[in-house]
């Protein structure tokens, strides 16, 4: 559950059938979630709506692409987390999205449960007030550490213990494909080319002891 306060999601995707299906999925899995649809960035930015709690942004939009549009969304709603949704499974695409300000990257090949899990993990901290009510930054803020979801932290911990994807999946009750996607996202977030580099970066940045 997301709590008593209704949450609001802005879903930007130019494929009407996928957009409608994802809306049904979100509202079925998260009954308190209000989903507002838009077929393009221009349509989304013209919406007369309160500040959304999360924006699901399609990668391959007509006109301004999702990657190019992250900045526009962040300009309109600076405190709103953006989740990029894409049919592209290339880890470099995920890395670009995260570098440009997305908090998560979700492949359209993932399961419905995984999609809901990512949205929940983005919304719960938002409703708890951490990003929305954070103090004003200092004049010279330190670089923000990568933002890993709770599930990604679990996968990272097991990665650093040397477990392969299959064993991580058994430990966390996840499919091997889902674990593989999490590993790719973690490598992109940490700027690592492989697991060894990820373990080094995780220790350096305090994710693991």
Least confident of 7-11, 81-85, 131-135: 131-135
Q: At 148, is the pLDDT very low, low, confident or very high (cuts 50, 70, 90)?
A: confident
The pLDDT value given to residue 5: 61
DSSP readout, 150-191?
HHHHHHHHHHHTT--HHHHHHHHT--HHHHHHHHHHHHHHHT
Q: How many CB atoms lie within 10 A of CB 204?
A: 10
CA distance 60 to 75: 20
Most trustworthy range by pLDDT among 1-5, 10-14, 83-87: 10-14
Following DSSP, what letter does each residue of 24-77 receive, concatenated? HHHHHH-TTEEEEEESSHHHHHH---PPPSEEEEESS-SSS-HHHHHHHHHHHS
Confidence check: pLDDT of 92 > 90: no
Q: Is residue 59 a contact partner of residue 97, using CB atoms and an 8 Å limit? A: yes
Quote the pLDDT of residue 56. Answer: 93
- N residues, the chain: 209
pLDDT digits (tens, 9 = 90+) for 111-146: 778 888 888 888 875 443 333 333 333 333 444 556
Query: How does the average pLDDT of the chain come out, rounded?
Result: 79
Alpha carbon distance 168, 155 (integer Å) = 7
CATH class held by domain 150-204: mainly alpha
Q: Quick one: pLDDT at residue 60?
A: 82
What is the value of pTM for the model shown? 0.60
Measure the CA–CA gap between 95 and 189, rounded to whole angstroms: 6
58: its two tokens:
């399609």
Name the one residue in this structure whose structure tokens are 């995707």: 13
Q: Is the pLDDT of residue 86 over 60?
A: yes
Residue limits of CATH 3.40.50.2300 in the chain:
7-128
Six token digits for residue 193: 């080319």
Question: Which residue has better confidence, 176 or 124?
Answer: 176
In order of 56, 135, 151, 206, the CA distances from 105 in angstroms are: 10, 26, 13, 23
CATH 1.10.10.10-classified regions of the chain: 150-204
For 53-82, what is each residue's pLDDT tens digit? 999 998 888 766 778 889 889 989 999 999
- Please provide residue 3's backbone torsions phi and psi, each rounded to the nearest 5 degrees: 100, 180
* Exposed/middle/buried for residue 148 (C-beta within 10 Å: 0-12, 13-18, 19+): buried
Band of residue 91 on the pLDDT scale cut at 50, 70, 90: confident
Of 3.40.710.10, 3.40.50.150, 3.40.50.2300, 3.20.20.370, which CATH number belongs to 7-128?
3.40.50.2300
């Amino acid at each position: 559950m997301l709590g008593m306060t209704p949450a609001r999601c802005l879903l930007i995707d130019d494929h009407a059938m996928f957009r409608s299906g994802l809306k049904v999925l979100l509202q079925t899995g998260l009954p308190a979630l209000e989903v507002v649809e838009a077929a393009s960035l221009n349509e989304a930015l013209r919406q007369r709506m309160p500040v959304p709690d999360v924006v699901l942004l399609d990668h391959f939009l007509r006109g301004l692409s999702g990657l190019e549009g992250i900045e526009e969304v962040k300009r309109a709603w600076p405190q709103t987390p953006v989740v990029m949704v894409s049919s592209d499974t290339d880890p470099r695409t995920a890395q670009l999205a995260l570098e440009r300000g997305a908090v998560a990257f979700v492949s359209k090949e993932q399961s419905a449960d995984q999609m809901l899990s990512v949205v929940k993990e983005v919304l719960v901290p938002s409703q708890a007030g951490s990003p929305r009510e954070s103090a004003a930054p200092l004049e010279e803020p330190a670089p923000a550490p990568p933002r890993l979801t709770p599930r990604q932290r679990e996968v990272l911990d097991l990665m650093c213990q040397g477990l392969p994807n299959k064993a991580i999946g058994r430990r966390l009750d996840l499919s091997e494909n889902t674990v593989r996607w999490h590993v790719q996202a973690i490598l992109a977030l940490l700027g690592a080319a492989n697991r060894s580099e990820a373990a080094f970066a995780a220790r350096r940045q305090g994710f693991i002891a």
